[in-house]
Structure 1
Amino acid sequence: MTLSFLISFSAHANEAQSDTRQLMQIAEYINVDYREAIKNGEIISQGEYDEMLEFSALAVEKTQNLDGGNAAVEAALKLQTAIKNKQEPADIEPITVELRHLLMDIAPAVTLKKSLLPATQTHALFQQNCIACHGAKGQGDGPLAASLEPTPTDFTDKARAHSRSLVGLYDAITNGIDGTAMAAFSQLNDQQRWSLAFYAGSLAFTESEQVSQTPTGMTMQDFVSHSPTTLNKQFPAINLASIEQLRANPSPLFAAADPLAMAKQQLEASHKAYLADEFKQAQALAVSAYLDGFELAENALDAYDTQLRKDIEASMMQFRQLTSQANQETALAETLEQADAQLTQAQNMLSADTLSESTLFTASFIILLREGLEALLVVLALVTVLVKTERRDAVKFVHTGWILAIAAGFGTWWVAQHLVSISGASREIMEGVAALLAAVVLFYVGFWMHSKTNASNWQAYIRDNIHRHLSTGTLWGIAALAFIAVYREVFETVLFYQALLTQSLPSQFMSVGTGFIAGIVVLAIIAYLMVKFSLRLPIRKFFLFTSYLMLALSFVLIGKAVAALQEAALVSMSPMPINLDIAWLGVHPTWEGVLAQLLVVLVSLILLLGLPSFSQNKTA
């Protein structure tokens, strides 16, 4: 059922994306080519003008079929009327820009690649697929150009390039353009199409010897979704020359960002969005500032200054809360200034020149110990239960679960690096849902195990009940629990180590590796002691001990689940008057998380205190 839902949801999302993106492409195409049809209120090319009429009619028709597209319909009708009245290109441009913005508000986010193909491969792709029409240098003068109507685009035309977005070029490559010789290049994969879009979008601009930097406040989504002219208007502080340089050489956009610099950039962008009354965008950027920025550096900072880490988290939480409230301009500016100063302090502390070997070792050790301990305890509890109940043959199911989880975690990381962009919010949702599911299952199993500790004849009970209940389906359920417990940690652990390595010099990688090995050793010692202790316990005491362990783990995981979903902005965040932060217990200073954990404690006490009478009135 879950798989069919995902397929259905994906198909619906793809259809919505196709319609809105096609309309965005039409609006952009009209903006660029209308100047070839009309001048001084007169038709200068009947063929081009007929095409403008056709595209504007198509825009009206398709916007009427969009959910929530009433404003877009009005803009499309306005555009159609302006074209019929042969208004000047300068009058058409703001209407097409307005239509694109309205469509972007209801369109799914653009899915970007983590990297482009090497320049030599992209150039070869262009030569293989594009020169027949566009020419070897992209000037629209290929061997077939003279016979085509309309003529192929000259990618070196700077005025035209200023009005074309990269996503518009990508969509043209992906879907083709109806009524033209531009065919869909569906045989190319997504990375190849994005690489060609960036390449075509670069040909009108000259690369400077000085490497361009990504302007503060502008995201990759902004850069690919808007034309240079629109970007210059949307971000007045960013001059057009900087945008042109990034079009000529987009490599800085794909460079690994400093997590703390990313946090500062997203907070500043959030503040600007708030001042522009774009509250949803402000909240999304505030969430991104933590998840895509600060969270990736907090392990290293924790090894230096735990209090500073807590202060930054508190400031960012306060900032995010303020973005959801109206008329908070002054308070938001003050909180931004405070958070920026704290992040600058953290940057100075964690700069490559000051990051010590011992700090890297400690951060590496803490990452593995903190992220791996819960998963280890769940896996060991499952293994020891099976061994104590004389089902050693079923242990392989647990091993299958955690081994697949490690493989899936690394696989997810690889996909996130090379195929699709997985945001910090998506990562937290994935972790939060997994933690919530694991907490519920562990609570149930812990309560069930405790309810059986009053069985008078344990050996007979095991033989007659537990063996029978551990069917193949149940064993695969155990494997699934092991998978969930481990998978929720692996993907994020890999990201944390990746971020830690980017903050290290190559000569310091050994310290990170040593910390990792030390973490493995400590986890191995914990595993050995737990197994040895558990297996020496009488079976009734073992079940009692394991049931309490699972209930305790459910307490920790429910707190972490709420925290993760809060960080992804799916659950509200209400700060407590005191900074109650005990990370290893999953306790965070928000009322929602603490109340969820108190509920686990309360239900556990009610059930456990009522167990004697419960067990006496129930048969095995």
Structure 2
Amino acid sequence: MFFLSFKRYNIRLVSALILILSGLRCLADTSTPDFRQMAQLAEYVGVDYPEAVANGEIINEGEYQEMLEFSRILVTEAQQAKATTIISRAQKLEAAIHEKQTPEVIRQLGRELRSELLMLMPVSSQPSQLLPISETHSLFQTHCAACHGAMGKGDGVASAGLEPPPTDFTDRERAMNRSVLGLYDAITDGIKETAMVSYDQLSEEQRWSLAFYVGGLAFEANAEEGVNATDLSIKELINHNPIQLANGDSNTLKSVIYLRAQPSALFTEKPSPLQIARDQLLAARASYNKGNYEESNRLAVSAYLDGFELVENSLDTRNPDLRKDIEANMMALRKQFRESSNQEQLNTLLDITLAQLETAKRQLSADSLSNATLFSASLIILLREGLEALLVTLALVLVLIRSERRDALKFVHAGWITALIAGGVTWWAARSLVNISGASREVMEGVAALAAALVLFYVGVWMHSKSNTIQWKAYIQKHVTQRLKTGTLWGIATLAFVAVYREVFETVLFYEALLTQSLPAQNPTIIGGFLVGLLCLSIIGWIMVRYSIKLPIGRFFSVTTYLLVGLSFVLIGKGVIALQEAAFIDASPLPISFEVDWIGLKSTWQSLMAQITILVLFLVFMLVSNQRRKPETSSDF
């Protein structure tokens, strides 16, 4: 039986995949200076300096020595980074501290240094949502109140004798000079030479929630002040302190104060996929202009995978040409963002792509999405993502039935049912616990597709070798009953799991994106499309089971062979394309552009050569098999 050596084969397969993929992966550059930690120190110096010096005199020797130490670290780190601008600013800050300049001067120099560092450091992660205020308050009482006090005033029971004393988060002057990012980094990494320890054991969402919580304790939310607050982005509110954001404008300052006191106003709505695509492309251009080409390429990849890809199905039902143009332009941008050769050409293509995204946004607005469009998109999503999983699962079922092992069907059912559950749990975790990026999703799907493609090719070739009726009956009598043991059957379950799981998670994401583009009253239309798609898949499955079982054994194996090799052809193409979309391997376009998504065909050399390899290997096997067409009852391929 073909699953005789499944465990051994699976280990070899995974090992081969790891070697291949690791050969394609570029080594990361680990020599980047820690600009983020430097930015935290620069802000901390500006905030704490008034505790050390007043009127040109040292009022706290311990605090003053800490200021000197931190400024010395900043100069040393700047010199190691070989960044002329920050070296100069760090040296000015150190000199001003030695001269015991006023707190206003130190804060200004610290802000200028930190602004330079923010431009140099990679784009940091941002929270997609915050915990409910009740949960955050409970976290604060559990982890922070002992030192900082129940109300955040720095008067906790464990604060006595601490030097420097715990921060008083209700100190408005201090809060005006403190950014949420600085608070988050202090919670994550702790602060050297102080009693503030790292809380990196908390989840990212918990740490962001605490940072926003303590960063708002000095402010009160006034509804009138929040009228124009939405003009500020989450990124701006996180990276800069209120004084920097206001820049002397009293109305802006009111908005900043409102959002620091009531940050939930920024998290009421998730950004649309097209907005994510636009924001990431603009961030990519900003990184490119600073010479951070690898970072700009990463952001461009995210623009497609975390943004545009999620609305492709919907756009296809309205304007497929626009969808193809945007996809092609975004793929081309990724290559240009990695290079510095032609900035004018990059900016021209980027402007065209941004304009196309605006056109797509108008066409996919909730007002213009008709019920027919939503129904079609819902139907296409389920058929496109579900058909491959259905065909692989049914092929396994039919082989077991024709092998007279119906008792083993429970293992196939265990595989696909577990995949459905795991897909749902993964989707929930991605929304609630961790942030699974589009690139990570595509790598997962790509590796799973390649693994499934190789296994299916192996199975298809093996089945062709048993297509002779006499050979098959002899093989059944001699091998099947003895060799389909528990370990082998769990191999069947694993293959069913892999085939189904890779589709489920992406299907859920596409439906979630579709729901964001519709009105609540249109949800029944989307559900209707899903149900019709489910009905179509059920009919396809019923026809395959009913008529395949009635086929003569030789014909059944011939038909199933071509089905499995065809699925292998599709999956290996889609696997390579997924890894290309995640920027895991290069994408070299063909001279002509084409795309047939249903069979995983796309105009890149890598994906096409992988599919041609499958066809060539199968043709070679067919030729060799035909020359050796003799009964080989012990054949196990």
Higher mean C-alpha deviation, range 194-203 or range 127-136? 127-136
1:213 aligns with 2:227: no
Q: AA paired with 1:472?
A: T
Distance in 1 between residues matched to 2:435 and 2:231, nearest whole Å: 18
5 Å matches for 1:85-234? Answer: 85=98, 89=106, 90-91=108-109, 114-123=128-137, 125-126=139-140, 130=144, 133-134=147-148, 138-140=152-154, 148-157=162-171, 160-161=174-175, 163-173=177-187, 176-177=190-191, 179-182=193-196, 191-205=205-219, 207=221, 208-210=225-227, 212-213=229-230, 224=238
* Separation in 2, partners of 1:223, 1:574: 40
Give the whole-Å Cα distance in 2 for the aligned partners of 1:313 and 1:446: 34
Confirm or deny that 1:351 pairs with 2:365: yes
2:65 pairs with one of 45, 50, 64: 50
Q: Which amino acid aligns with 1:511?
A: T
- Mapped to 1, the partners of 2:180 and 2:312 lie a distance apart of 34
- Normalising by structure 1, we get a TM-score of 0.84
Residue 513 of structure 2 is aligned to residue 499 of structure 1: yes
Structure 1 residues 442, 99: closer, same or farther in 2, change over 3 A?
A: same
* C-alpha deviation, 1:310, in angstroms: 1.1
2:415 match: 401
Matched, 1:525 2:542: no
For the 8 Å contact 2:443–2:578, the answer to whether it is kept is: yes
Alignment of 1:228-377 (within 5 A): 246-251=259-264, 252-253=266-267, 255-377=269-391
Q: Which amino acid aligns with 2:62?
A: G
User: Are the equivalent residues in 1 in contact too, given 2:129–2:267 (CA < 8 A)?
Assistant: no
Aligned-partner residue type, residue 308 of structure 1: L
Question: Helix, strand or coil: the match of 1:395?
Answer: helix
Other-structure match for 2:483: 469
Q: Is 1:36 matched with 2:51?
A: yes
Q: Quote the Cα distance in structure 2 between the aligned partners of 1:448 and 1:258.
A: 47
CA 1:294 to 1:175, structure 2 compared with 1: closer, same or farther past 3 Å? closer
Residue range with higher mean Cα deviation, 178-187 or 331-340: 178-187
SS in 2 for 1:390: coil
Offset at residue 604 of structure 1 (A): 1.6
Q: How many angstroms apart in 2 are the aligned matches of 1:404 and 1:201?
A: 43
Residues 325 and 522 of structure 1, relative CA distance in 2, 3 Å threshold: same
Q: Please, which moves more after superposition, 136-145 or 390-399?
A: 136-145
Counterpart residue type for residue 250 of structure 1? P
- Normalising to structure 2: TM-score of the pair? 0.82
**Offset of residue 452 of structure 1:** 2.3
Letter of the 1:29 counterpart: Y
Helix, strand or coil at the partner of 2:602: coil
Q: Distance in 1 between matches of 2:332 and 2:201?
A: 48
Query: Judging changes above 3 Å, is the alpha-carbon distance between structure 1 residues 240 and 309 closer, same or farther for their aligned structure 2 residues?
Result: farther
Quick one: which amino acid aligns to residue 437 of structure 2?
A: S
Matched, 1:420 2:437: no
For 2:237 and 2:590, how far apart are their aligned partners in 1? 39
Helix, strand or coil: the match of 2:226? coil
Secondary structure in 1 matching 2:595: coil
Question: What is the rounded CA distance, in whole Å, between the counterparts of 1:186 and 1:322 in structure 2?
Answer: 37
CA distance in 1, matches of 2:359, 2:544: 41
* Match for residue 499 of structure 2 among 475, 485, 498: 485
2:627 is paired with a residue whose SS is helix
Which digits, 9 at most, give the CA deviation of each residue in 1:245-272, with x for residues without a partner? 6544433246311111221222222223
CA drift of 1:186 comes to: 7.8
Q: Find the aligned partners of 1:80 and 1:449 in 2 and give their Cα distance.
A: 75
Letter matched to residue 513 of structure 2:
A
Q: Residue type matched to 1:514 in 2? A: G
Of structures 1 and 2, the one scoring higher in RCO (CA 8 A, sep 6+) is: 2
For the structure 1 residues 343 and 93, does the alpha-carbon distance in structure 2 shift closer, same or farther, using more than 3 Å as the test? closer
Distance 1:278 1:55 in 2: 27
Kept after mapping to 2: 8 A contact 1:214/1:246: no
Which residue identity lines up with residue 263 of structure 2 in the other structure? P
Moved more, 394-403 or 326-335: 326-335
Q: How far apart are 1:241 and its partner, in Å?
A: 7.3
Q: Offset of 1:225 from its aligned partner?
A: 6.0
**What amino acid is the match of 1:271?**
R
Q: May I ask how many residue pairs the two structures share in their alignment?
A: 595
Q: Which runs of 5 or more residues in structure 1 are unaligned?
A: 6-12, 234-238
- What is the aligned partner in structure 1 of residue 22 from structure 2? none
Task: Tell me the CA shift for residue 295 of structure 1.
Answer: 0.8
The residue aligned with 1:9 is: none
Shift of residue 392, structure 1, vs aligned partner: 0.9
Q: Look up the match of 1:578.
A: 592
> How much does 1:307 deviate?
1.6
Three-state SS of the structure 1 residue aligned to 2:612 is helix
Give structure 2 stretches of 5+ with no counterpart.
1-10, 19-27
Partners of 1:328 and 1:58 in 2: how far apart? 38
Instruction: Name the counterpart of 1:236.
Output: none
Give 1:399 shift. 0.7
Identical columns (%): 51
SS in 2 for 1:384: helix
SS at the partner of 1:456? helix
Quote how far apart the aligned CAs of 1:532 are: 1.1
Counterpart of 1:169, as a letter, is L
Moved more, 115-124 or 481-490: 115-124
